Amino acid sequence: MERADVIILGGGLVGLTLALALDAHGLTSIVVDPAEPAAVLAKAFDGRASAVASASHAMLDAIGIGARLAGQGMPIRAIEVRDGLSPEALLFDPPQAGGPLGVMYENRRLRAALHEAAAEAPGIALLMPARAATTERDAAGVAVRLEDGRTLTAALLIGAEGRQSPTRAAAGINVARWSYDHTAVIATLGHERPHDGVAHEIFYPAGPFALLPMPNDADGPRSAIVWTVAAEHGAATIGLPDRAFMAEAEKRMGGMLGALRSASPRSGYPLGFHHTARITAERLALAGDAAHGIHPIAGQGLNLGFRDVATLAEVLVEGARLGMDLGDAQLLARYERWRALDSFLVAAATDSLTRLFGLPGAPARAIRRFGLGAVARIAPLKARFMAEARGETGDLPKLLQGATI
């Protein structure tokens, strides 16, 4: 297939989910990604995991991916938030009848499910490894010439290549960005005591320490950690001997899960913020990290990308049913309007939380603990925070409500 309704540059979690959402509604796509399939589908667990919010999971269910993931994730039944190891904690524990707040998955399992579904989808051509050499966008359509000489055409180009999106740069879209001068240390740890499906967010002046429940392995319970450290300490923390690493992690956890063991390799990445001035241009739409990158403080990065997917899919499917050109400026303007406020508010909220909980000193600590106590006591406010964690606020696209378009 060398012509499709859309060309998606980037075959990661967001790009492939968008292709599958479009395929489920009769639209075709060509997905181009430079990665080697053997590398991204390796069975070895590298420690990376994602929290898929309940609304995002409703979309995966609606497009048939949820069934492929059955039994592979760990439902998040509650979230406990603390300022340091204070005995006072804010607990978000929704009624069981409402379902979990989200589900934790190893990224490799998400990728495998998406690749398997894409291989069976009649409307998706997945080109891996392949790289765009040039792209042309004009009133007539989109043409992408690959490095191997092939030329692909479509009505719309979608940039989903991640934070360093070359498509965004080539379009001249301005980006507000800054670095937090922190590194996120990623690993999965086994532990002695069960986690009971509870996620923990422990805030320290040096940065948050997140503990996220994972399915058991052969040796017992596991949790993924996202440990924020000063950038200058990132490499040294990742490189600690196992015993020293476990001892430091156990201190930050207050020993709540007992003795620890290594359950994956350790890795890290620099933390930064970026937000584009716009997410569309002539016959171009951006999605996922190509459009916005946020601090992992609330675990919303991937879910923000899934909200882009649900919105863009609805705009394009409804446009196609009306007989519109999928690159029409009116459709792109609708996507821009629909996503602009939500993505900005989430980005601003995570940045503000990062700065608030990073303030040192007793006065700042007292204010934070007062705020956590207030949320715990005010039921409507607590309910609002739980709805945000589920991804169920705002003008939700149909897919995020679990319905097809």
Determine the Cα–Cα distance for residues 52 and 104; give it in Å rounded to an integer: 6
pLDDT band per the 50, 70, 90 thresholds, residue 198: very high
Tell me which residue of 131, 143, 127, 125 sits closest to 283, measured CA to CA.
Answer: 143
Average pLDDT on 340-347 reads 79
**What integer best gives the mean pLDDT of the chain?**
90
From CA 100, how far away is CA 73, in angstroms rounded? 12
Sheet holding 132-138, edge to edge: 132-138, 141-146, 151-154
Q: Is the pLDDT of residue 355 over 80?
A: no
Which of 137-146, 163-172, 199-208, 359-368 shows the lowest mean pLDDT across its residues? Answer: 359-368
Per-residue CA distances from 253 to 106, 210, 291, 376 (Å): 22, 9, 34, 21
The pLDDT score that the predictor gives to residue 62 is: 97
C-alpha 325 chain-centroid distance: 30
Q: What pLDDT is attached to residue 168?
A: 95
- Other C-beta atoms lying within 10 Å of the C-beta of residue 83: 22
Measured at the CA of 288, the angle between CA 333 and CA 353, to 5 degrees, comes to: 105
Q: Are the beta carbons of 13 and 108 closer than 8 angstroms? A: no
In 3D, which of 212, 177, 215, 204 has the Cα closest to residue 72?
A: 215
Per-residue model confidence as pLDDT tens digits over 248-290: 999 999 999 999 999 999 999 998 888 899 999 999 999 999 9
Residue 238's SS3 state is: helix
SS3 state of residue 323: coil
The residue whose two tokens read 């937000």 is: 275
The confidence score (pLDDT) of residue 377 equals: 61
pLDDT of residue 361: 62
Q: For the residues 295-306, what does the mean pLDDT come to? A: 82
pTM: 0.92
DSSP three-state, residue 46 = coil
DSSP class of 95: -
- Write down the pLDDT at residue 233: 94
Domain ranges of the chain: 6-51+65-74+106-177+272-364
Residue 390 has pLDDT above 80, yes or no: no
Cα three-residue angle 225-113-307, rounded to 5 degrees = 70
Residue-level pLDDT at 83: 83
Q: Which amino acid is at 332?
A: L
pLDDT at 96: 76
Structural tokens at position 17: 């989910």
Q: Are 159 and 175 in contact (CB under 8 A)?
A: no
d(CA 260, CA 187): 12
Cβ atoms of 276 and 168 within 8 Å: the answer is yes
Strands (E), 15-171: 29-32, 49-53, 74-76, 78-83, 90-92, 102-106, 124-127, 132-138, 141-146, 151-154, 156-159
Contact between 57 and 103 (Cβ < 8 Å) = yes
Q: Give the count of alpha carbons within 13 A of 260, CB side only.
A: 26
d(C-alpha 306, C-alpha 400), whole Å: 9
pLDDT at 259: 94
pLDDT above 70: percentage of residues in the chain: 90
> What's the pLDDT band for 58 if we cut at 50, 70, 90?
very high
For the stretch 91-136, pLDDT in tens is: 888 877 778 999 999 999 999 999 999 999 999 999 999 999 999 9
Task: Give 247's contacts (C-beta < 8 A, 6+ positions apart).
Answer: none
Say if residue 366's pLDDT is above 90. no
Query: What pLDDT was estimated at residue 354?
Result: 67
CA 322, CA 338: separation in Å to the nearest integer? 19
Q: Where are the beta strands (DSSP E) in 29-138?
A: 29-32, 49-53, 74-76, 78-83, 90-92, 102-106, 124-127, 132-138
* pLDDT-wise least confident of 29-38, 242-251, 331-340, 389-398: 389-398
pLDDT, mean of residues 20-34: 98
345: CB partners within 8 A, 6+ apart:
none
Write the class of the CATH domain 6-51+65-74+106-177+272-364: alpha beta
- pLDDT at residue 372, rounded to an integer: 62
Task: Give, in degrees to the nearest 5, the angle at Cα 104 between 304 and 8.
Answer: 40
The label of the residue with tokens 């360093």 reads 164
The pLDDT of 307-325, averaged and rounded, is 97
Q: pLDDT tens digits for 137-190?
A: 999 999 999 999 999 999 999 999 999 999 999 999 999 888 888 999 999 999
Res 391: pLDDT: 79
Residue 232's pLDDT is 94
pLDDT reading at 88 higher than 80? no
